[in-house]
Every structure is written in structure tokens, then in C-alpha cells.
Structure 1
Amino acid sequence: MRKNQNVIGDLNNLGKIEVIEKSTPFKGYFQVDTYRFRHSLFEGGLSQEITREIFERGHAAAVLLFDAKTDEVILIEQFRPGAYAAGMAPWLIEVVAGIIEPDENAEDLAQREAMEESGCKIGRLEKIGTFLMTPGGSSETIALFCGEILSQEIKDTYGLDHEGEDIRTHRIKASESYKLMNTGKVTNAITAIALQWLELNNERIRTKWLSD
């Protein structure tokens, strides 16, 4: 078990973090690290010692597939065991997403997952942002893009068999996707962010992509 003792860092000059101990009690496909730390308080001084487990599952990228010519989006639907465990409907409407491999960047991941999960070849990518998903207990970030649909290989289902993926796609008007979000049918947070962004930037991105 690897341990780092008494490391003090300064993040963006906003405050001090004293890591008393970091250990890794579990390492499998994912990893759990345990931190013992103190951090600076807004009123001055340091907090009491805090112990937290952090879920390390890597960093991810996601892409909202958008056809500027037809003003349509392609969303995917698949079973999510975490949603089932939370007591929610487990077949979620989502944007394409995946974990970034060590030898690829977020843009490459977006291209790869678009083909694997939806059969889509995509062109230009517009960066929406990078977001922490559950910063209270995980280090995971998601780099989110809007991707230009160039073509789609039509199939009944998509995904990789060896990863247990069973995915279908839905091509709908962008305006209909906003209604899905506004009526609570989209419960995946990164998908909601992507659709809200498109609703605000639809005219700008269509003008940009159609004029080039």
C-alpha cells in the first residue's frame, strides 16, 4: 500500500491542503484511495483532520451528436446499473461517452465512442466544457463536446459485446430533445448539460458549421 506523508500544496492561491496520509485500500478495474487531510478555512487556520475515500475511475469524454443541416440530435439509450441501484428507471437517455484510455485524448475518445455507440462518423468538435461529476467522492472529470454528424451506419443496436453494451439510438429534432430534458425524461447530468448548452447555442453553432 503506497503512502504519501505530509504533503502541503497550494491550489490556485485559494487555500492550503495538508495531506497527512494517502493510501490505496482497493485497486481493481477501478480504484479507491483513502485520504487523511486538513484544509485551510475561510476564517483562517486549518480544519480538523478529515478522512475521505475517493473513487478513482479515470477521466471521461462525452459528445452530443448534432446534425446542423437537419437540426437533429442523436441520443443513445442503454441500461445503467447505478440508476437501478438508486431506484430510478435504469434505461437512460444519454449522450455518447466513455473513459479516456492512457494513449488517447478526449477528442480521440469522442470520435471512437461516437462510432462504437451510435455508428456515427463525426467531424468538427465544439468544446462545451470540462465538468466534475461527483467531486465529493470521485476525481472523475468529463470533457464535453458537441460533435458534427457526418454520417451514421444504421443498425438495430450498437456497442461492444465484450463490454456488455446494448445500445440503441434515437434521432430527433433538437427542439424535441429540449422537451425530453424539461419534462424530466433525461436524468443523466452530463446529457442535461449538453442539451441546455445546445438550446442556448443552437443558432450560433448552426451558423458556424453551415457557413464553413
Structure 2
Amino acid sequence: MSLKINIIENRLLSDHWFVLRKYVYDLVRKDGTGLRQMREVYDRGNGATLLLYNTATNCVLLIRQFRMPTFVNGNPDGMLIEACAGLLDLDSPEECIRREAMEETGYKVGEVTKLFSAYMSPGGVTEQVHFFAAAYQDSQRDNAGGGVDDEDIEVLELPFPEAMAMVADGRIQDGKTIILLQQALINGWLTA
């Protein structure tokens, strides 16, 4: 049985970086009782993320970049270690991760595996992230990476055991990256 939702108010609060809206709605629960709720919803579009891994060297390619939300939430330098990722814009998820891999890491991606899609913060953000993994080799490097336009990205090639240790000790705190590293371990692509 699905819930019935009646939207009472849909007000634009901000349209600067992405879109922030305030929703007031009546929710009719499955037992028939009503409940009025108010939520602010941040719409930033959908995205895709990719773990690049090298089975021959037992390494992963990650990036480090400044993330303002982490800075204001206590990350002293605001730098975050992540798997490459980006917003779909008008691309398909696979086109997006191929573009982002080239821009951020400098590697031209070959065959990719779609793992799944997930809402990463469904309590307030509309974004659905599409998760991918792909093997890489040094011969696929096309450029130095580092991002485009206003990005300042450092490319990191890390031994997989070190990346997993960085999750355990808190040096890697990005949710999508932690999930992708765990997928590499679960699927046996790399060894910790």
C-alpha cells in the first residue's frame, strides 16, 4: 500500500548553486490518519561515481579536492579523498563517469561495470548516484587529470590495503568512496 501525498506549498527558497525548495504537504498514512509535514529539499541533479582499480598493482585511483560543506562541518582543511564523480548534466550515467574520469584522473576508461544506484542523503537531497567500477592500466592515461575550470584536484594512486586502512582510521570519509572500496573487497577485484 502506498502513501497518499497532497502538496500544500511548493516554494522556491534559492536558485543560486542548485535549487532549494520548501514543501508543505499532507501525508495520509496507510492507517488512514493524516499528518502535515514541512521539508526543505535540495535538488542538485543526479550523479555518477566510478572506482578505478588496477588488479595487477592492487591499487585504486582516487582524488583529493576541497569540499566546503566538510570544512564548515569540522574538516580542518576541507580536503576530501573521493572516487571520481560528477553530475550527469545531460549525459547518461556511463557517459558522465567516462567524462569525469578523464577530467579528474586523466584516464580514458574502457569497459565499465554498473553496480547499482542509490539515494545518498534522501532526507533532504533529491540526488540519485549511479555507481560504477572499471579496471585501469597505466596505458590508459591520457593526461594529468586535475579537473577543469574551477576545480583543483589531486590524483592519488593508492595501494588497496592503504585505502582500506584510510577508511578505518578516518582519512577517507566520503560515503560513495567507502561503498565503492567495499565493493572492490566484496567482489574480489582487489585484496586488502
TM-score, scaled to structure 2: 0.89
Gaps of 5+ in 2: none
Of 79, 83, 92, the match for 1:91:
79
Of 43, 64, 72, the match for 2:59:
72
Aligned-pair identity (%): 29
1:154 is displaced (CA, Å) by: 5.6
Give the alignment of 1:1-212 within 5 angstroms.
13-41=1-29, 44-89=31-76, 90-102=78-90, 104-150=91-137, 151-153=140-142, 155=144, 158-160=146-148, 162=149, 164-203=150-189
For 2:104 and 2:129, locate their aligned partners in 1 and report how far apart those are by CA, in whole Å: 17
Letter in 1 for 2:24: R
Q: Deviations over 1:128-151 (max 9, x none)?
A: 221112111110111111122241
Letter in 2 for 1:115: M
Letter in 1 for 2:54: D
Q: How many residues are paired up?
A: 188
Is contact 1:78-1:91 (8 Å) kept? yes
Structure with higher Rg: it is: 1
Letter in 2 for 1:141: Q
Of the two structures, which has the highest relative contact order with CA contacts closer than 8 Å and spacing of 6 or more?
A: 2
Is contact 1:178-1:199 (8 Å) kept? no
Is contact 1:128-1:194 (8 Å) kept? no
For 2:33 and 2:22, locate their aligned partners in 1 and report how far apart those are by CA, in whole Å: 20
1:51 is displaced (CA, Å) by: 1.3
- Partner SS state of residue 92, structure 1: strand
- Partner SS state of residue 102, structure 2: helix
Is contact 2:23-2:40 (8 Å) kept? yes
- Partner SS state of residue 122, structure 2: coil
Is contact 1:133-1:142 (8 Å) kept? yes
Superposition RMSD on alpha carbons, in Å? 1.9
Q: Deviations over 1:159-211 (max 9, x none)?
A: 11x2x2111111122222111112221111111111111111124x89xxxxx
Letter in 2 for 1:91: M
For 1:88 and 1:112, locate their aligned partners in 2 and report how far apart those are by CA, in whole Å: 28
Letter in 2 for 1:35: Y
Letter in 2 for 1:107: E
Gaps of 5+ in 1: 1-12, 207-212
Is contact 1:78-1:167 (8 Å) kept? yes
Is contact 2:112-2:133 (8 Å) kept? yes
Letter in 2 for 1:184: G
